[in-house]
Amino acid sequence: MLERLISWSVHNRFWVSLLMGLIVAGGIYSIYTTPVDAIPDLSQNQVIIYTEWMGRNPQIMEDQVTYPLVSNLQGVPRLKSIRAASMFGMSFVFVIFQDDVDIYWARSRVLERLNYAQKFLPPGITPSLGPDGTGVGHVFWYTLQAPDYDLGELRALQDWYVKFALQNVEGVSEVASFGGFQKQYQVSVNPDKLLYYGVPLTKVISAINRNNRDVGGSLFEQNRAGYLVKGLGYIKSIEDIQNIPLGQYKSVPVRIRDVATVQMSADLRLGITEENGEGEVVGGIVVMRYGENAQQVIARVKTRLADVQKGLPPGVRFKVAYDRSDLIAAAIDTVKEAITEEVIVVCIVVLVFLFHFGSGLVAIVNIPLSILIGFILMKLFGVDSNLMSLGGVALAVGDLVDSGIVMAENAYRQLTERVVGLDEQKGEY
């Protein structure tokens, strides 16, 4: 078989050259289209279910949220295992699938089962799927630098402007905000006043919910013109909450201000974010979507940040806290340098020891062709280019020329023996 292949290659140089050209073209295409990252993604094939029920301790979260979800998620096709964690006000369920399962197929199956499992949860509790990213999907971190703004204003700017702008970037799964204060209206109810006026706490909650919405009316026609009627009821200030009616007490209207104190404050914080020991900061984490090219996603995020910068208030600017593209570029440069040095050394050694340019060229050509074939196979099998895979290519460069040297020496020996034999035959005549 091998003899036939060699014979066919010798007698069909055009097709061999054409095949080499296709390998070069396919290898170059694979190099530029294969996702590039600095570190290999060794995370498991999992879907995260996140459920929030603020104010409840971990034991309640475990009994009323985590356990019902884990119990009803059993039996999902291609399931490998289920892990869960309960903490203050939050529940996390990690549904781990087999490695060959498509992530979006897995997410659709989990979502189907969640529709059934939700009826076992407390009223008003809705679990949601986590981002379609992996454990190494945090590719870009940034902070907002503004000495003249407080942390609450910066967090509002991050949540309501910057975050929405970056989430539209192609390849971005989620933008997670961190740091600062999340503003909220806090209603501190006085239980003695509730008892005095005879107002239950549930009525206070329902009254605030009912009075924080707009309602639509019908169409009012007058003088051949139509006017859309709607009721404006969204809460816009502390006074709007204070004036919400709760009922009557001895023919006197009772409002929120009569039974509670309303103030603007921050949500409960379980930690702070500090940068280089210089104080608290506000920023965001860009999570890359599953299977995307990290280098291209980061480039698109930087382009969008330049556009977003134009709409920021005066004095506010972005500061990059973590940029994986620098690590990716450094890793690629290191591997390129190692491969280049190895190729040069191997070429010199081959030419010096064989002392024949044609024979040395046969062994040297194996190096770039083998590397290009490796990238083609990486593209076909979905293997990302990272420090580990590229490092393997660099280590294999020295071994690639062994077969070429052996074949060249064997051919040289065969030709020499044939020439010597012909000379001997001529001497006999």
User: What pTM did the predictor assign?
Assistant: 0.77
Please enumerate in sequence order all residues whose Cβ is within 8 A of that of 407, keeping only pairs 6 or more positions apart, or say none.
362
DSSP E strand stretches across 250-331: 252-255, 260-266, 282-288, 317-323
Report angle CA 40, 42, 47 to the nearest 5 degrees: 130
Report pLDDT for 95.
94
List, as one string, the DSSP characters of 382-426.
T--B-HHHHHHHHHHHHHHHHHHHHHHHHHHHHHHHHHHHHHHHH
For residue 129, give every residue at least 6 positions away whose Cβ sits within 8 Å of its Cβ, in sequence order, or none.
Answer: 47, 48, 49, 50, 107, 110, 111, 114
Ranges of each domain in the chain: 23-37+328-428, 44-132, 187-266
Give 10-residue mean pLDDT values along the chain (429 residues): 78 86 90 81 87 89 94 90 92 93 92 89 90 87 90 91 93 91 90 91 90 83 84 88 89 91 84 85 92 89 94 92 88 77 74 71 77 86 78 72 72 73 57
Exposed/middle/buried for 61, CB within 10 Å: 0-12, 13-18, 19+?
buried
pLDDT on residue 398: 66
CA–CA gap between residue 147 and residue 348 (Å, rounded): 59
Four-way CATH pick for 187-266: 3.40.109.10, 3.30.2090.10, 3.90.1560.10, 3.30.930.10: 3.30.2090.10
| Amino acid, res. 97 | F
Q: What's domain 44-132's superfamily in CATH?
A: Multidrug efflux transporter AcrB pore domain (3.30.70.1430)
What pLDDT, on the 0 to 100 scale, is given for residue 48?
93
Angle at 318 between CA 312 and CA 321, to 5 degrees: 155
Pairing between β-strand 245-249 and β-strand 252-255 as defined by DSSP bridges: antiparallel
At residue 149, what is the residue type?
Answer: Y
Sequence-distant (6+) residues with CB within 8 A of 193 are 258, 259, 260
Tell me which of 3.40.50.10860, 4.10.520.10, 1.20.1640.10, 3.30.465.10 is the CATH number of domain 23-37+328-428. 1.20.1640.10
So what's the pLDDT on residue 420?
A: 64
Contact by Cβ (8 Å): 145, 179: no
- Residue 59, burial from CB neighbour count under 10 angstroms (0-12, 13-18, 19+): exposed
Rounded to a whole number, what is the distance in angstroms from the first to the last CA of the chain? 38
